[in-house]
Amino acid sequence: MTRTIETITFEDAVRFISLEADCLDHRDYATWLGLWAKDGIYAIPIDPDAEDFADRLNYAYDDAAMRRMRVSRLTSGESMSARDASNTLRSLSRFRMLDDEPASDVRIRCAQHLVDYRRGAYRTYAANVTYRLRVEDGGIRLAEKVVRLINSTDALAGMSFLL
């Protein structure tokens, strides 16, 4: 995001969310935190049909303060599960703009296929992910990220990474 932009194109959006994915797989959490708008919301709902999250139970429903705490938990060394964290590798594909572009506030949806490796075992997490991206101060910021796991209502195992 070196150039100043006023609107977000499809290519801008894909480039931005690929960067976000790369930060998470490489545990570059400091950069990841910087991608967010101040009022950004990171949500991982349980209910597959949920559109608003405040009045129901989610896996995560994070504002900026909660995201910061989540990152410190994963990096502080105080959490025994995070000390032995998974290696993750995620692929994003099947991109679709949900709003007309270019615009200064757009939503893009994609498929995320995440492979998690820990203690000799692979697990996969398949999800539809929707991002709302917004232009702020000439750059793109993440205003909302909603991760809808296709098995969200099943029993999951503990996760030592971010989806």
Partner 1 sequence: MTSRDFDALVLPDRVHSSLYRDPAIFEEEMDRIFNRSWVWVAHESDIPKAGDFLTTHVGRQPVIVNRDRKGDIRVMVNRCRHRGATVCEARRGNAAGFVCPYHAWTYSQDGSLRGVPLPKGYKDFDKAEYGLVQLRVETYAGLVFATFNHDIEPLDTFLGRAKPWIDLFMKQGGGFPVKTMGEHRFTFPGNWKIQLENTTDAYHFPIVHKSFLTSLDNATEDLFSFMDAGGYVEDLGNGHSVMVMIPELVDLDDNLDADIPDRFADIAEELRRDYPEEQVRKIVRAIGGSGFNLNLFPNLACSMAFFRVLRPLAVDETEIRHIAIGMDGGPDIANRARLRLHEHFQGPMGFGTPDDAEAWERVQRGSAGSADPAWIMVNRGEDKTAANAGDVTAETGMRAAYQMWKRMMSA
Q: Enumerate binding residues for partner 1 (CB under 8 A).
A: 44, 46-47, 54-61, 66, 69-70, 72-73, 76, 78-82, 84, 153-160, 163
Minimum CB separation from partner 1 for residue 30, in Å? Answer: 18
Q: Which is nearer to partner 1, 79 or 128 (CB)?
A: 79
Q: Which is nearer to partner 1, 21 or 74 (CB)?
A: 74
Minimum CB separation from partner 1 for residue 113, in Å? Answer: 18
Q: Which is nearer to partner 1, 3 or 121 (CB)?
A: 121
**Distance of alpha carbon 127 from the chain centroid:** 11
Minimum CB separation from partner 1 for residue 156, in Å? Answer: 4
Hey, what are 154's tokens? 């099943």
How distant, in Å, are the alpha carbons of 50, 73, 81 from that of 115?
Answer: 25, 22, 18
Query: Which neighbouring-strand residues pair with 148?
Result: 128
**Phi and psi, residue 83, nearest 5°:** -65, -30
Are 146 and 45 spatial neighbours (Cβ–Cβ below 8 Å)? yes
